[in-house]
Amino acid sequence: MKGIDPWDVKEVKDYNELMKTLGVDSFSNYIKKLKDAPIEIRRGLVLGHKDFSKIYESIAKKKKFAILTGLMPSGTFHFGHMSVISQVIYYQKLGAKIYLLAADLEAELVRNIKEKDAKKIALEEYLLNYLALGLKSKNLEFYFQTTGPKKFKEYSNLSKLASAKTTFNEVKAIYGEITPQKLISSLTQAADIIYPQLEGISTTLTPVGFDQLPHANFSRDIASRMNFSLPCFTFHKLIPGLQGPNTKMSSSKPESYISFDDSEKEVERKIKKYAFSGGKATLAEHKKHGGNPDIDISFLWLKYLFEDNDKKLNEIHADYKSGSLLTGELKEILIEKINAFLNQHRRNREKSRKELNKFNLQ
Ligand code: TRP
């Protein structure tokens, strides 16, 4: 698909343009309508959707709906993974049944990560952190692609039967030239996305990053040809990596992210050394002309992750722009916020360990 490869994620420069050319609807009308939404939704990280009106109606009329989403367990859990899970927790509170999967099959097929290692990462890095962030084990089904959900046989057959509902031409139009193992991953993902319907829940939402858009289209095509309901999607942009507004956090590049295991000192070091600044080159210039908060990573992380209070965020924005707030000071605000969050999170995580054992997963 033009400009999007789900296995080689590039930061998108112009999301509005992308949405226009690829037929994704704007999410902006829903932002104000959703009550008590997480910061990722309120501050506009979730930009696009397909058929969200069905989900909105289910919420308003208290009708049954499910969330299904997943992550490829490929490395440490970092703040780039927050946007998905915050949304999942939000919808769980609204009563949705949650299906969460770890794409260990995809990790082995396309990243060459062995199943055993992928599972360990999925449990220790992902599921444990999800629980510590507030995901509840009630009304949740967590599964691995290799061992499948409760109805494993149907799930496994679904991913294979889906192959009869597409053609190489369509696959090429959606994904470009792909390898057989990527095609298997796509068919498996389509089965993931349709799976809640096998358990009788026909209204489903899959929150994902924009990079997953080809999978969204593929699974919707297959769903309609197999007489399932069309799965709904929301698409969020990526929280930028430390190197700048158009970079991404990448598991293979520790200087691009803050991980949930980084110590206080490491957080301080990384932010001071790497967080891209929108400030001016010299102190005098900065004080005179002010900085640009909208390209400054410290500001953007406060906006999308840590500063919940709109008034405070606006003040920081104005002060940085006027030059009265210096880059070093802005970084200090962020460092303090991250460390306060992580200290609390680490305490929560110890409590969540017991809960993790209850899952009894192999
Ligand atoms: N492809 C996704 C990733 O790279 C993982 C995934 C597999 C997924 N199945 C899914 C995401 C179903 C959403 C829904 O992270």
Per-residue model confidence as pLDDT tens digits over 51-80: 999 999 999 999 999 999 999 998 899 999
**Residue 70 CA, ligand 1 centroid: distance in Å:** 5
CA 241 to chain centre: 14
307 lines ligand 1 (CB under 6 A): no
**Residue 71 CA, ligand 1 centroid: distance in Å:** 5
Is the distance from CB of 127 to CB of 141 less than 8 angstroms?
no
Asked if pLDDT for residue 263 goes beyond 70, the answer is yes
At 21, is the pLDDT very low, low, confident or very high (cuts 50, 70, 90)? confident
User: Measured between alpha carbons, how far is residue 340 from residues 125, 306, 336, 343, 345 in Å?
Assistant: 20, 10, 6, 5, 9
**Which mutation among 9, 81, 215, 232 tests ligand 1's pocket best, with the greatest number of atoms within 8 A of CB?**
215
Closest residue by Cα to residue 220 from 49, 46, 31, 45: 49
**Residue 327 CA, ligand 1 centroid: distance in Å:** 37
Taking CA atoms only, the protein residue closest to ligand 1 atom 9 is: 189
**Residue 210 CA, ligand 1 centroid: distance in Å:** 12
What atom in ligand 1 is closest to the CA of residue 7?
4
φ/ψ of 319, rounded to 5, equals: -65, -35
Burial of 25: CB neighbours in 10 Å, binned 0-12, 13-18, 19+: middle
Quick one: average pLDDT of 82-92?
A: 97
Cross-strand pairs, 224: none
103 lines ligand 1 (CB under 6 A): yes
205 lines ligand 1 (CB under 6 A): no
pLDDT above 90 coverage of the chain, percent: 90
Angle at the Cα of 7 from the Cα atoms of 5 and 9, rounded to 5 degrees = 65
**Residue 101 CA, ligand 1 centroid: distance in Å:** 8
pTM assigned to the model: 0.95
- Give the contacts of 345 (CB within 8 A, at least 6 positions apart): 129, 132, 133, 260
Per-residue model confidence as pLDDT tens digits over 101-156: 999 999 999 999 999 999 999 999 999 999 999 999 999 999 999 999 999 999 99
